[in-house]
Amino acid sequence: MVNSKQRLALLASAKAHRVIIVGGGAAGLELATQLSDSSGFSVTLIDRVRTHVWKPKLHEIAAGTMDIASHEVGYLAHARKHGFEFRIGEMTRLDREGKEVWLAPYIDAEGEEVTPARSFGYDTLVIAVGSQSNDFGTPGVRENTLKLESLGDASRFNRKLMNACFRRQASALDDEPKALRVCIIGAGATGVELASELLRTGKEVYATGSTREVNRQGIEVHLIEAAERILPALPARLSFAASRLLAGQGVEVHTAAKVKAVHATDVELDDGRRLPAELTVWAAGIKAPAFLKELAGLESNRLGQLVVGPSLQTTRDARIFAIGDCAACPTTDGQGVVPPRAQAAHQQAQHLARHLHAYAKGRPVPGYRYRDFGSLISLGQFSTVGSLMGGLVGRSMFIEGLFAKSMYLAMYKKHELAIHGWRRMVLESLARMLSSGGRSRVKLH
- Confirm whether 441 is domain-assigned: no
Q: Which structural domain range is residue 266 located in?
A: 141-283
Read off φ and ψ for residue 92, nearest 5 degrees.
-120, -25
The distance in angstroms from the start CA to the end CA of the chain is 52
Say if residue 41 is in the same domain as residue 99. Answer: yes
Domain termination site, one of 255, 283, 311? 283
Look at residues 236, 263, 283 and tell me which one is the last residue of a structural domain. Answer: 283
CA neighbor of 145 nearest in space, from 277, 53, 289, 291: 277
Q: Quick one: 23 and 111 in the same domain?
A: yes
Secondary structure class of 81 (helix, strand, coil):
helix
Q: Are residues 273 and 344 both part of a single domain?
A: no
177 and 271 within one domain: yes
Domain boundary among 360, 391, 423: 360
* Structural domain contains residue 437: no
Same domain, 274 and 347: no
In a domain, 367, yes or no: no
Cα 318 from Cα 258, distance rounded (Å): 41
Number of domains in the chain: 3
Q: What one-character DSSP code corresponds to residue 331?
A: P
pLDDT of residue 173: 57
Beta bridge partners of 377: 385
Tell me if 84 is assigned to some domain: yes
32 SS3 class? helix
Residues 293 and 265 in one domain: no
What CATH number does the domain containing 221 carry?
3.50.50.60
Based on the domain organization, do 391 and 420 belong to the same domain? Answer: yes
Q: Indicate whether 272 and 303 sit together in one domain.
A: no
d(CA 330, CA 333): 8
Q: Based on the fold, state whether residues 201 and 167 are members of the same structural domain.
A: yes
pLDDT of amino acid 385 = 63
Q: Residue 56 in 3-state DSSP?
A: helix
For 201-244, give the DSSP string: HHHHHS-SSSHHHHHHHSEEEEEE-SSSSSSTTS-HHHHHHHHH
Burial profile 99-112: b = 16 or more Cβ within 10 angstroms, e = fewer:
bbbebeebeeeeee
For residue 439, is it within any domain? Answer: no
Residue 272, number of CB atoms within 10 A of its CB: 7
Q: What is the mean pLDDT of each run of 10 residues along the chain (445 residues)?
A: 46 75 96 86 96 90 83 94 95 96 94 95 97 94 94 92 81 64 94 88 62 56 96 88 88 96 96 95 93 94 96 97 97 88 93 95 95 76 55 49 66 82 76 54 39
Alpha-carbon distances, residue 277 vs 178, 180, 206 (angstroms): 12, 8, 19
